[in-house]
């Protein structure tokens, strides 16, 4: 059996994820493709992840890729998480993960509308009513070009239909359908997230019809074909890795994951005693790179790319993850996590969690200074606070 050491895996990580000067991306799209997709639950992550991999990019370049030339698009994908994907790759993510998520969201919403009281009441076929609301909402969005949720609910008042509480519990409150319907339409590939309502850090966003990007709608790809393409892309960027890693990253069941892998030519590997797989045409080790530093944001796709993280995380999990498994801002040296960072009073502050030498200290300081300049005065606070980030910014 082929053996791949932790050092070899880290060398692949640094090269393929654009975390060293010699492997840096030349564009925001290339930076995104290098890690398949960028996490977008926290708006800042997209920008900071791109800047970390593309030294010539600015905040404006990232925004332009998403909202001007549309070479990147925000969509719901793996694990019902928001991602930014290269536009040409988005149909693969959608068919491989989003369609299933949309079907599940639709079943849940229809069941709620059929069994719970609403205001106003819905008469007749609930599924037909919901489909008509979606069609009208899409048409309103096409007419506007881009719109906030409240603008769409003004155009299509049925979006304001509310599910009423049936208990006295605090969490059981009146809820308008607007957000759930728009999220469902996003998962179905009919609409995508558009420009933010404020700065690049804003969590408010407009919506855009998918037909603005694809005149005939989101291209359809057969599910198995899409899943094979998605798994191959992930293995190219993150392999060798375990079957459990792929299952976790995609959000597929174990059976589905194994079915997809059975369609791909892979080779079994031993990773320091852990069994994994690698693409059969990708078994040659990557050339080592000179040690380099990187500052990656919270929820960056590199540390969030595997379920089993020991080969690059070491003993630092407790300080750098929150209780729900979300990673905070991390400091990297030579392909592994060695510390964390945050922003206090508008300045980047960091702490190394182990002694990695004077060369690393100097490199981290240089990277931090460069990032500080590129942020143009903005202060980034992660959506999910982690113990070290909280300590650093107190």
pLDDT tens digits along 91-123: 999 999 999 999 999 999 999 999 999 999 999
CB of 301 closer than 8 Å to CB of 77: no
- Per DSSP bridges, beta strands 72-77 and 274-279 are unpaired
End-to-end CA distance of the chain: 50
Give the range of the structural domain holding residue 383, as residue numbers without chain letter. 293-393
Helix, strand, or coil here: 52?
Answer: helix
Q: What are phi and psi for residue 295, nearest 5 degrees?
A: -110, 115
Mean pLDDT of 35-62: 97
**What confidence score (pLDDT) does residue 248 get?**
97
Taking the C-alpha atoms of residue 282 and residue 261, their distance in angstroms, rounded to an integer, is: 15
pLDDT in tens, 295-332: 999 999 999 999 999 999 999 999 999 999 999 999 99
Confidence bin at 1 (pLDDT 50/70/90): confident
% the chain with pLDDT above 90: 96
In a domain, residue 365? The reply is: yes
The continuous run of DSSP H or E covering 182 comes out as helix 178-187
- 323-355 core/surface letters (b: 16 or more CB in 10 A; e: else): eeebbbbbbbbbbbbbbbbbbeeeebebebbee
pLDDT in tens, 365-389: 999 999 999 999 999 999 999 999 9
Has residue 264 got a pLDDT over 90?
Answer: yes
Has residue 358 got a pLDDT over 90?
Answer: yes
* Secondary structure letter of residue 195 according to DSSP: E
Has residue 170 got a pLDDT over 90?
Answer: no
In a domain, residue 82? The reply is: no
The rounded mean pLDDT for the chain is 96
**What confidence score (pLDDT) does residue 212 get?**
94
Has residue 287 got a pLDDT over 90?
Answer: no
pLDDT in tens, 236-255: 999 999 999 999 999 999 99
Q: Under 8 Å CB-to-CB from 141, ≥6 apart: which residues?
A: 147, 152, 191, 207, 208, 209
- CA distances to 319, 321, 322, 383 from 390, rounded to whole Å, are 10, 11, 11, 12
Has residue 168 got a pLDDT over 90?
Answer: no
In a domain, residue 187? The reply is: no
pTM of the prediction?
0.95
In a domain, residue 54? The reply is: no
Number of domains in the chain: 1
Query: Which tokens sit at 264?
Result: 């791909």
In a domain, residue 143? The reply is: no
pLDDT in tens, 182-226: 999 999 999 999 999 989 999 999 999 999 999 999 999 999 999
In a domain, residue 340? The reply is: yes
In a domain, residue 142? The reply is: no
Taking the C-alpha atoms of residue 305 and residue 4, their distance in angstroms, rounded to an integer, is: 18
Mean pLDDT of 172-190: 95
Query: Which tokens sit at 38?
Result: 């960028």
pLDDT in tens, 65-90: 999 999 999 999 999 999 999 999 99
């Amino acid at each position: 059996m082929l053996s791949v050491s932790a050092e070899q895996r880290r060398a692949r990580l640094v090269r393929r994820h654009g975390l060293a000067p010699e492997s840096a991306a030349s564009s925001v799209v290339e930076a995104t493709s290098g890690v398949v997709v960028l996490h977008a639950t926290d708006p800042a992550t997209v920008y900071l992840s791109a800047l970390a991999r593309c030294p010539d990019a600015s905040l404006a370049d990232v925004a332009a890729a998403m909202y001007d030339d549309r070479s990147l698009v925000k969509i719901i994908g793996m694990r019902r998480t928001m991602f930014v994907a290269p536009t040409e790759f988005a149909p693969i993510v959608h068919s491989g993960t989003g369609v299933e998520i949309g079907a599940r969201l639709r079943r849940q919403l229809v069941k709620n509308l059929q069994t719970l009281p609403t205001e106003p009441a819905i008469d007749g076929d609930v599924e037909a009513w919901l489909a008509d609301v979606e069609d009208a909402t899409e048409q309103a969005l096409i007419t506007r070009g881009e719109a906030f949720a409240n603008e769409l609910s003004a155009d299509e008042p049925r979006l304001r239909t509310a599910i009423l509480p049936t208990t006295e519990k605090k969490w059981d409150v009146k809820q308008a359908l607007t957000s759930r319907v728009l999220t469902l339409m996003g998962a179905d590939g009919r609409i995508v997230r558009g420009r933010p309502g404020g700065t690049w850090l804003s969590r408010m966003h407009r919506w855009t019809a998918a037909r603005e990007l694809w005149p005939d709608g989101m291209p359809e790809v057969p599910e198995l074909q899409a899943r094979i393409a998605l798994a191959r892309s992930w293995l190219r960027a993150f392999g060798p890795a375990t079957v459990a890693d792929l299952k976790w990253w995609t959000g597929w069941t174990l059976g589905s994951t194994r079915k997809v892998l059975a369609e791909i030519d892979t080779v079994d590997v031993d990773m320091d005693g852990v069994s994994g797989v690698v693409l059969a045409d990708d078994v040659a080790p990557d050339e080592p790179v000179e040690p380099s530093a990187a500052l990656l944001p919270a929820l960056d796709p590199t540390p969030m790319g595997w379920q089993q993280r020991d080969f690059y995380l070491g003993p630092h999990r407790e300080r750098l993850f929150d209780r729900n498994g979300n990673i905070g801002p991390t400091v990297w040296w030579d392909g592994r996590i060695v510390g964390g960072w945050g922003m206090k009073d508008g300045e980047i502050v960091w702490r190394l969690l182990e002694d990695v030498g004077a060369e690393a200290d100097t490199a981290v300081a240089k990277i931090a200074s460069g990032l500080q300049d590129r942020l143009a005065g903005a202060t980034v606070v992660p959506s999910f606070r982690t113990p070290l980030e909280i300590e650093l910014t107190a």
